Amino acid sequence: MGDSLWSAEFVAAVISGAILAGNGGANNVTATTLTLNAANGIALDTTVANLGATNTAGNVTFANSGALNLTALNQGGGNLNVTAGGAITQTGPVVVSGTANFSAGANPITL
């Protein structure tokens, strides 16, 4: 992805490898709904309201700038780290084979 920025109402990506930002913490995706499918890890800085992701190997890290609703997360191999600048809520299944860490600062986390 490099320094590119995805911005739309709905963003979906299916990648046979990893989805990695590589741009030092700058926002990578702005969307109402983001759905990702990767094989070897995900690491993105986002501004999204709804997040769904599937990954088969490697770690998954999301740093979201505001509140975040987890519509479905399936982390088949590795750890999951989710940080949000607002509340974190869950409306779909969250399945993690490794360790899951959620951080929302002083905001509530409802899983």
Position 48 scores a pLDDT of 95
Position 6 scores a pLDDT of 55
What is the mean predicted confidence (pLDDT) over 50-66?
96
**pTM reported for the whole predicted model:** 0.88
Please tell me which residue, 26 or 89, carries the higher pLDDT value. 89
In angstroms, the CA 102 to CA 22 distance is 22
Which stretch of 10-14, 88-92, 97-101 has the lowest confidence by average pLDDT?
Answer: 10-14
Banded model confidence at residue 94, pLDDT cuts 50, 70, 90 = very high
The answer to whether 55 touches 77, Cβ cutoff 8 Å, is: yes
